[in-house]
């Protein structure tokens, strides 16, 4: 399976910083035969980042979406708008959306469906909190997040990626170890197979304190098909080291 390395900038960078990052990374040597590379900038810069990357192999996605196509939803952004900025991907159910903005599984499912119907690729984030992990609930939480978001969507399997991001590993400098992550990834693939009643071939990315030192270990572990990088993606040369770690 072709690996995918994604940068989630979250709420970082001014317009100038975003543009200069993109210009810098665009000229770098990346083996696109071996990997897909993807950037999730803040909404404000999505159109401009897409335009600048139009003639490159680097893909662009939105960090969030609302499920309605248009209407009186002040401050929200629809899948149609994301498409019109020529972005291909959308990140849905990130732990910061689930926990800080209290997004429910029901809302996440609506976002997934409307984005897929609009032709976007969806990267669904799942992951357990520290408390859930310590209560041995990791697999239950992951299974429920996947099933609630994706039941009945087997026809869209080739438009999906899953990012496994343990909440306790995000932004903490305490990454999962690749063996543990690999076990959860295998479980995610089994869950999808059961749900979709077929081998879904969905790529499963790991995210949570990935850096240029640990990237290779994750990418070498079975069932880890890519990385979703937060903090360490904010500097183009560090992100490039991660991209080229494998
Ligand atoms: P960090 O890489 O900063 O831990 O963030 C991970 C993440 O949430 C990516 O979506």
User: Mind telling me the catalytic residues?
Assistant: 94, 165
Beta carbon of 162 within 6 Å of any ligand 1 atom: no
**Which atom of ligand 1 lies nearest, measured to the CA of 175?**
4
Helix axes 15-26, 46-53, angle to 10 degrees: 20
Q: pTM for this one? A: 0.97
List % helix, strand, coil for the chain (3-state, nearest 5): 45, 15, 40
**Is any atom of ligand 1 closer than 6 Å to the C-beta of 127?**
no
Q: How many domains does the chain have?
A: 1
Q: Provide the residue range defining the domain that includes 44.
A: 3-243
Is the minimum distance from the CB of 91 to ligand 1 under 6 angstroms?
Answer: no
Q: How many Å lie between the centroid of ligand 1 and the Cα of residue 18?
A: 18
Walk along the chain (246 residues) and give the pLDDT tens digit of each residue: 999 999 999 999 999 999 999 999 998 999 999 999 999 999 999 999 999 999 999 999 999 999 999 999 999 999 999 999 999 999 999 999 999 999 999 999 999 999 999 999 999 999 999 999 999 999 999 999 999 999 999 999 999 999 999 999 999 999 999 999 999 999 999 999 999 999 889 999 999 999 999 999 999 999 999 999 999 999 999 999 999 998
Q: Where are the beta strands (DSSP E) in 113-170?
A: 121-126, 160-164
Q: Rounded to whole angstroms, how far apart are CA atoms 123 and 163? A: 7
The values of phi and psi at residue 229, to 5°, are: -110, 130
Range list of H helices, 27-128: 46-53, 79-84, 95-99, 105-117
Q: Which residues make Cβ contacts (< 8 Å) with residue 63, sequence separation at least 6?
A: 8, 9, 10, 40, 41, 42, 43, 91, 94
Nearest atom in ligand 1 to the alpha carbon of residue 233 is 2
CA distance 149 to 126: 10
CATH number at residue 193: 3.20.20.70
């Amino acid at each position: 399976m072709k690996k995918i390395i994604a940068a989630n900038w979250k709420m970082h960078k001014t317009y100038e910083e975003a543009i200069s990052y993109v210009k810098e990374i665009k000229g770098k040597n990346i083996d696109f035969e071996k990997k897909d590379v993807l950037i999730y900038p803040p909404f404000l810069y999505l159109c401009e980042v897409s335009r600048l990357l139009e003639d490159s192999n680097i893909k662009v996605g939105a960090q969030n979406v609302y499920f309605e196509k248009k209407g009186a939803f002040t401050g929200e952004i629809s899948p149609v708008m994301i498409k019109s900025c020529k972005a291909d991907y959308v990140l849905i159910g990130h732990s910061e959306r689930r926990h800080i903005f209290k997004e429910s599984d029901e809302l996440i499912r609506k976002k997934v469906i409307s984005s897929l119907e609009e032709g976007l690729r969806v990267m669904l984030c799942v992951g357990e909190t520290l408390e859930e992990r310590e209560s041995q609930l990791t697999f239950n939480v992951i299974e429920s997040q996947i099933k609630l978001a994706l039941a009945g969507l087997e026809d869209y399997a080739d438009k999906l990626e899953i990012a496994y991001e343990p909440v306790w590993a995000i932004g903490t400098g305490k990454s999962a170890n690749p063996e543990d992550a690999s076990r959860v990834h295998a479980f995610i693939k089994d869950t999808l197979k059961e749900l979709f009643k077929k081998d879904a071939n969905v790529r499963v990315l790991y995210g949570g304190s990935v850096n240029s030192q640990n990237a290779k270990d994750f990418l070498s572990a079975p069932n880890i098909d890519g990385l979703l990088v937060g903090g360490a993606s904010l500097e183009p040369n560090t992100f490039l080291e991660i991209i080229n770690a494998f």
